[in-house]
Amino acid sequence: MAVSETRMLSKISVNQEEATPKEKEQVMVLGAGRSGIAAARLAVYLGGDVTLKDENIDCLSPLLKEQLSKEGIHLDLGKILKPLDFGTATKVIVSPGLPPEKWSGLAVPEYDSRVIGELEWASALSPFPLLAVGGTNGKSTTSALAAHFLRACGLSVFLGGNFGTPLSEAVLSERKRIAQELSPEYDAGVVEISSFQAETMSPVRSWFDPVVHLFLNITPDHLDRHPSEEAYRRAKWQSFRGISPSHFTVFNGDPESGLYPLRKTPGRPAFFFASRKGASPELPVEEAPVFLLSEDGKTGRVSGFPGQKGETEIWQLDGFSLPGLGNRQNLAASLLGTLIFLNEQRKIGKVRGQDSGDMPFPEKTLLLESLSGFRGLPHRMEVIAEKNGICFINDSKATNVDATLMALKGFSVKSGNKGGDDADARSLILIMGGRDKGASYFPLASPVKDLVRVLIVLGESREVIAKSLSSFCETIPVSSMKMAVDVALSKGREGDTVLLSPGCSSYDMFHGYEERGNAFAMLVREALGVYRGGA
């Protein structure tokens, strides 16, 4: 075994020992949502004396309260949290939904050796290796793609973190199987990581150490939680500061990704790239694994891997059908991350590769065959209906301006449409609006001018958006999603695309982007009299 691999395994052992509560060690879990409950159950299983604390006295059902108490978890509900009031607890596990002001008194928390986020803590205890996905936009689709590709190669994969299932749940399940001498359920884990989960991470502790960590982009978001754009960026970068030098940090090579200038990280760099513009001059592409995607998204160029001997390998990606520049970047990121992860696991005998001779990518055929099997995620550039030559797309997950910008850029590349001042040449009807997040809408000016014939605005932000963009196309304010759909139908003509890509939070009119997207899809299908897939 190589020296770097020995050091890596030693670090895993040390992290697990430090993260494991000693017998009856006082552990406090802050926040009784799904992540907090999962962390409390894992901590008590490992031997801790656990208190689960939440300000909301009604956050748990009576049945769940009874279950948790029977499992040995002390409940402390309904009391206002006081900053740094941890009693005798020596481990304080924080749920990602709990703002740092609540437990630290600061909008940007300072390092406290007692405090650790649920995801970082669970990662130190994980018996299976991790591939992590971070960034502002595209995290969920990229995470799902990476899990899809790893499964296509025969691995059993946990998919969770910010994506849905807390990592603590999977770690608890896996550790119980190990204790019962059962075969492992998972060969690998793919975890999506948000700024809320990253903001408590620290290089002092350096427990969060995935084998591969993808970083897609950074653009202004969650400024209702973070006090400034710089604080948000700092929180995102925190997740990279504990990476081992033998592990990989995979960055978007697009100079417009918001990652540049790159901050120094201890991991080994790799780069993916999918854009109409040239790569950032910072990219050391001759010294690192690289995945370059063609402008049309149909061809990938892979280089920098052991066994390639300096040559570039061409991958034909025709099977991938999801629209948009964002999805092409997600594809490039997930394929590169998957290839690196498989290669690293093969080195230590955790992946049984095919008999490939000198082939650097023994799973290439499996990966390419799996492309057509990935249908995307709901509310992310999801085609919900097509009728009378008009396509309706639900991109309700576009909850910030940059996500909407990526959607529009994808249409520009796909259609070649450059309408400019000629409104008749434009074929996009765009529905935007919701709760404003404080970011400027002016970055949308150029693509709106080039592509959008009608802009429909709704929600709390409709006046702000209209003021920013109405000079570039016909702009119509509405007061409901039904009105938005009705106007779109009245304005639509053969060859048009009606795109819901709000660029805003949904919480002014809905309980989440899912509810907003579902409402849009239902109204469109009812109006057209069609079911999924069109008519």
Say which residues have a Cβ less than 8 Å from residue 156's Cβ, sequence separation at least 6.
Answer: 184, 185, 186, 187, 188
Per-residue pLDDT, 531: 60
Per-residue pLDDT, 324: 80
Per-residue pLDDT, 411: 79
Question: Tens digits of per-residue pLDDT, 11-43?
Answer: 567 788 999 999 999 999 999 999 999 999 999
Question: Tens digits of per-residue pLDDT, 362-403?
Answer: 999 999 999 999 988 999 999 999 999 999 999 999 999 999
What are the residue boundaries of the structural domains of the chain, listed by start?
26-110, 117-373, 382-528
Supply φ then ψ for residue 462, to 5 degrees.
Answer: -60, -35
Per-residue pLDDT, 278: 57
User: Domain 26-110 carries which CATH code?
Assistant: 3.40.50.720
Class of domain 382-528: alpha beta
Q: State pTM to two decimals.
A: 0.86
Cα separation, 78 vs 499, in Å, equals: 43
- Peptide bond between residue 261 and the one before it cis (omega within 30 degrees of 0): yes
Residues making up the annotated binding site for ATP are: 135-141
How many Cα atoms sit within 13 Å of 329 on the Cβ side? 33
How do strand 91-94 and strand 26-30 relate by DSSP bridges?
A: parallel
Helix (H) or strand (E) holding 340: helix 325-347
Token representation of residue 440: 């400027």
Per-residue pLDDT, 423: 54
Cα separation, 315 vs 299, in Å, equals: 6
Supply φ then ψ for residue 186, to 5 degrees.
Answer: -125, 140
**Concatenated DSSP letters for 66-101?**
HHHHHTT-EEEESS---TT--TT-SEEEE-TTS-HH
Of residues 353 and 468, which shows the higher confidence score? 468
Q: Give the model's confidence band at 188: pLDDT under 50 very low, under 70 low, under 90 confident, else very high.
A: very high
Of residues 213 and 14, which shows the higher confidence score? 213
Q: Give the model's confidence band at 209: pLDDT under 50 very low, under 70 low, under 90 confident, else very high.
A: very high
Residues making up the annotated binding site are: 135-141
Residue 414 has pLDDT above 50, yes or no: no
CA dihedral 220, 226, 227, 228 (to 10 degrees): -20
Q: Which residues of 422-436 are buried (b: 16+ CB within 10 A; e: fewer)?
A: eeeebbbbbbbbbbb
Per-residue pLDDT, 353: 53
| Cross-strand pairs, 51 | 28, 74
Segment 140-146 shows an average pLDDT of 96
The average confidence (pLDDT) of the chain is 89
Q: Which architecture characterizes domain 117-373 according to CATH?
A: 3-Layer(aba) Sandwich (3.40)
Segment 66-90 shows an average pLDDT of 96
Question: Tens digits of per-residue pLDDT, 470-525?
Answer: 999 999 999 999 999 999 999 999 999 999 999 999 999 999 999 999 999 999 99
Residue 412 has pLDDT above 60, yes or no: no
Asked whether the beta carbons of 130 and 189 are under 8 A apart, the reply is: yes
